[in-house]
Structure 1
Amino acid sequence: MTTLKKGISLLLLISFFLIACQKKRENNSVKKETVKNTNLTNKKIIAYVTDWNKDQWGSNFERANQITHINYAFANIKGGEIVEGKDTDSLHISKLNELKEINPNLQTLISIGGWTWSGNFSDAVLTNASREKFANSTIRFLQKHQINGIDLDWEYPGLEGNGNVHRPEDKENFTSILRLIRKKMDSLSQQTEATYLLTIATGASQDYLDHTNMKEAQQYLDFINIMTYDFCGGWSKKTGHHANLYAAKSEQAEQSVRSAEIAVQQHIKAGIPVHKIVLGIPFYGRWWKSVLPTSNGQYQFVQGNLSGSYDYYQITDSLKQNKFTAYWNDETKTPYIWRKKDSLFLTYDNAKSIQYKTNFVKEKEMGGIMFWRLEGDDGTLTKTIYKNLLID
C-alpha cells in the first residue's frame, strides 16, 4: 500500500471514530432527557395559582421548570355549570399555557370551587340531569381554554363548609359526578388522542372521608391532593402548628390531634392507593397575638381574637429585618415564630420542614407534593421542593 493510500485510510478511520463518538454523545443526551421526563411524570409538583403575574415567575421563568402541574384557582359554578371566576381568567389561563414553551412537560388544570365558591356543588350534582349538565360544562371549559384537566375542590361534600348547601346524598353524588366526568373525558380522548386529568382536593380529616366514598371515587381520579394545612387558625381555641408533619407527643392523647402523617394514614385506610396521594404544603403562615408565653406560645388557649395570616415571603422579609425570631419544634418538624413584646405566635413551613416532607413523600412512595399558593413564595420553597423531590 502506498503512503498516500495509507494516509487516506487513516483519515477515514479517524473520521468514522469521530462520527461514532458524536452519535454516542447524542444518544446519551437523549437518554438523559428521557430519564428526566420520566422522573417528572413519576413525582408531581403541583402549584395552585390564583392570578397571572409575570413578576412571580422571574425574568427567566425558572419556576416554570420546577413544577409539573398548575392548578388555576378558581372557576365558579353558576346555573349548574362551570364558569370563569373572574373576567380576566381567559387571559391568565392563556398566559399560563404559554409556560409550556418553557417546560413542555407542564400541565395546566382549572380548579373549581374552593372555600368561597363551593356553595353550588350540591345542587349541581343532585340529579342525573344536573350532573349531565355540569359534566358537559367541564368538558366545554377544558376545550375552550385548551387545558389538560379538571380539579374539583368541593369544600366539602356532605358538610357545611362556608355556609354551603349540603345533603347526605352528596356522598354518593360526588362519586357519580366523578364517574361521569371521567367517562366524558375518556370519550373526548378517543377523538383528540390526548389524555385529560381529573383530580380533587380533599380535606385532611376523618370527617371528610366519612362523608365521601373515596375507595370507589379514587378509581376515576388521576391523583388526590390532600389539604394538609389549616389544622388550626384564627377559628381555633388553641394555638398550634397548622401544617405539622407529625403530632407532638403532648397532643397525641387528644382526639382532635391532627398532622400530615395522620391525614395520609387516614386516606390510605379509606382505600386510596398511596401512589395517588399528593401531600399539600402551605406557602403561608397563621398567627395569633396576646398568646400566653408558656412553651413560646405553642398549644396555648387563645386570649382574644387577634389573628391572621402572612405569606411566606412576608415572613422571610420580617426575619431578615429582625422583626421575628424563629424557633424549631423537632417533634412536629416545624418552624415557628415567637415574639415576646406582643405575644405573637406564628406557625408556618420553611425549607427545613419541607425537606422533611419531601423525604416523607419519597419514603411512603406517594404521588408528590402540591402547594397553596405560588404567589406566597419568594422562590425558596418551590426550589426546595423541586431539588429534594425530583433531583436528589
Structure 2
Amino acid sequence: MTTDLENLLPSQETPVEYVTTKDGTVAKQPSVCVKTKKKIKLKKKSTKGNWINSIASFILEQELDGVEIVYRWPETSEDRKNFALFVRELRYKFARVEKIAKRKVPYIISIYSPTYNWATKDVSLLDDIRNYVDFFNVETDNFYAPYHKNNIMTGPLSPLYSLGNDDKSIDRTMEKYTCKTMKPSQLNIILSFGGVHWENVHKSSAEPDDIHFYVRGRDYSGYHFSWRYLKFFGFDLNKASFHDVAKTPYIWDKNHQSFVTFENERSLEEKMEYILSKNLGGVAIDRIDKDDDSHTLLNAVTSMNMCSGPKFAEDEIKYNCEKL
C-alpha cells in the first residue's frame, strides 16, 4: 500500500468539516451526511480539502461505491460557483484514489437536484457540473408537501403527468432536465415508499378533480407517512381510487375533508415504464425502510426488467425540446 493511500485511510472516527456563516467556526461530524439549513461556505482551501479527504476516507473505510451530494439551496452565483468547484475537485480526488487503490470501476457521484430552478435556461449550474457527476437524482417525490408553508393547494405527492398547465409532475420536470442537459442517461427519478395525509381540505367547483384542493387561508394540517404504516393510520385501501392522468392512488373522504396521496405497486410500475419510454437513467429510492417487511414496493420496482424496453440510442432524446 502506498503512502498516499495510507494517508487516506481514516481513524476510527471520520470527521467531516464544514463552515457555517453564523460564526465562522468549523464543526466536525462523524458522517458525510451533514444536514443544515445554514448556508455552507467553504472558506479556505485547507477546509475544503479536509472535507473532500474525509469523504474519500469514509468511502474507503466503508467500502462504498460512491456518494450522493445534497445541497439544495445554492442561491447566489457565488454559491453555485463554489458548489461546482467542490464537485469538480471531489471528482479529481476520486480519480486519484481509484488509481492508487487500483479500483476497476469509478466511484459514483450523484447530485440531489431540486425540481425546478436548476433546469431553467438562465442557470448554468447543470452545465458546470454535469461532466463531473454520474447522476442527477431529481426531486420528483415531493411536489405537494405539507411542510411548504405557502401552500395554495394540495395534490398528489408524485404525479406522473400534469393536469392542464400545472408543471408539478414528473413528466414536466424530467422534460426540462433532459432538454437542459441533453443527457437523459444521467437523470434518475426519486421514488418515495410512502405518502401524505392532508386534513381540513375543501373541494369547491374551482378544482378540476379529486386530487387538487385549495387550502389557502384554511387551517389545514398534513403529515408524511411510510407505506408500512398505511394501515396503522387507519387508511382503507378498498376506498382508494387511481387517477388516470397523474397515475397515482389517492383516497378522498368528503365527509371528513381528508385527502391521502401515496405510492403503491401500480403507480411505481407506471413510473418504471415511463423511465423506459423516456430513455432515462433509472431511479433513486428515498428510504427503503419505509417499505413493509414483505418488500411490497421494492419488489414492484425491481420486477421491471429495465433492459426489456424499447431500444434507443445512448442519450436519445424522447422529449420535444423545441417547444421549451
What interval of TM-score do these two structures reach, taking the shorter chain for normalisation?
Answer: 0.7 to 0.9
| CA separation of 1:228 and 1:305: change in aligned 2, threshold 3 A | same
Aligned match of 2:265: 351
Alignment counterpart, residue 288 of structure 1, candidates 193, 198, 216: 198
Decide whether the 8 Å contact of 1:336 with 1:348 is kept in 2. yes
Greater per-residue helix proportion: 1
Whether contact under 8 Å (1:82, 1:138) holds in the other structure is no
Matches within 5 A, 1:67-82: 78-79=18-19
* Alignment partner of 1:204 is 2:115: yes
SS of the equivalent of 2:269 reads helix
AA aligned opposite 2:48: R
Residue 383 (structure 1) aligns with: 299
Cα deviation, 1:211-257, whole Å, max 9, x if unaligned, reads 551123111111121110211122222111121011012xx1x5xx3
1:310 is paired with a residue whose SS is: strand
1:172–1:212 contact (8 Å) kept in structure 2:
no
Residue 271 (structure 1) aligned with residue 181 (structure 2): yes
Gaps of at least 5 residues in structure 1 are 1-74, 86-109, 159-166
Q: Does 2:214 match 1:301?
A: yes
Question: C-alpha offsets along residues 339-358 of structure 1, whole Å, 9 cap, x if unaligned?
Answer: 23321111121111111110
1:240 aligns to what?
A: 155
**Are 2:145 and 2:157, in contact at CA under 8 Å, matched by a contact in 1?**
yes
CA 1:310 to 1:76, structure 2 compared with 1: closer, same or farther past 3 Å? farther
Query: Is the 1:244–1:333 Cα contact (8 Å) retained in structure 2?
Result: yes
1:216 is aligned to 128
Q: What is the SS of the residue equivalent to 1:328?
A: strand
User: Does the Cα contact within 8 Å between 1:157 and 1:212 map onto a contact in 2?
Assistant: no
- Give structure 1 regions of 4+ aligned residues with deviation exceeding 6 angstroms: none
TM-score (norm 1): 0.64
1:156/1:208 contact within 8 Å kept:
no
**Residue correspondence of structure 1 range 150-229 to structure 2 within 5 A:** 150-158=67-75, 167-194=76-103, 195-206=106-117, 213-229=125-141
1:141 aligned to which of 37, 55, 58: 58
Shift of the 201–315 alpha-carbon distance from structure 1 to 2, 3 Å rule, reads: same
Give the Cα separation in 1 of the matches to 2:196 and 2:159: 12
> For residue 366 of structure 1, what is the aligned residue in structure 2?
280
SS of residue in 1 equivalent to 2:255: helix
Say if 1:229 and 1:282, in contact at 8 Å, map to a contact too: yes
Q: Which moved more, 1:377-386 or 1:306-315?
A: 306-315
Cα distance in 2 between the residues matched to 1:274 and 1:214: 13
- Kept in 1, the 8 Å contact 2:119–2:180? The answer is no
Contact 2:202 2:257 in 1 (8 A): yes
In structure 1, distance between residues paired with 2:44 and 2:73: 18
Change (3 A) 1:84 1:300: same
Deviation at 1:277, TM superposition (A): 0.7
Query: Per-residue deviation at 1:208?
Result: 6.4
- Taking the aligned partners of 1:197 and 1:145, their CA distance within structure 2 comes to 14
For the residues of structure 2 that align with 1:367 and 1:129, how far apart are their CA atoms? 35
User: What TM-score, normalized by structure 2, do the two folds share?
Assistant: 0.76
Question: How far did 1:78 drift?
Answer: 4.2
Report the secondary structure of 1:221's partner residue.
coil
| Distance of aligned partners of 1:135 and 1:260 in 2 relative to their CA distance in 1, 3 Å threshold | same
Shift in Å at residue 310 of structure 1? Answer: 1.4
Q: Secondary structure in 2 aligned to 1:200?
A: strand
Question: 1:297–1:84: structure 2 CA closer, same or farther, 3 Å change rule?
Answer: farther
Segment drifting more, 300-309 vs 200-209: 200-209
What is the distance in 2 between the residues matched to 1:82 and 1:202? 25
Q: Take 1:82 and 1:362, find their aligned partners in 2: how far apart are those partners?
A: 42
1:335 and 1:76 map into 2 onto residues whose CA distance is 41
Q: Which residue of 2 aligns with 1:8?
A: none
% identical equivalent positions: 19
Q: Alignment RMSD, CA only?
A: 2.6
Counterpart-to-counterpart distance in 2, 1:196 and 1:285: 32
| Residues 136, 265 of structure 1: alpha-carbon distance in 2 compared, 3 angstrom cutoff | same
- How many pairs are equivalent? 275
Q: Residue by residue, what CA displacement relative to the aligned partner does 1:155-197 show, whole Å, maximum 9, x if unpaired?
A: 2222xxxxxxxx4301111111111000011011111111322
Match of 2:30 in 1: 84
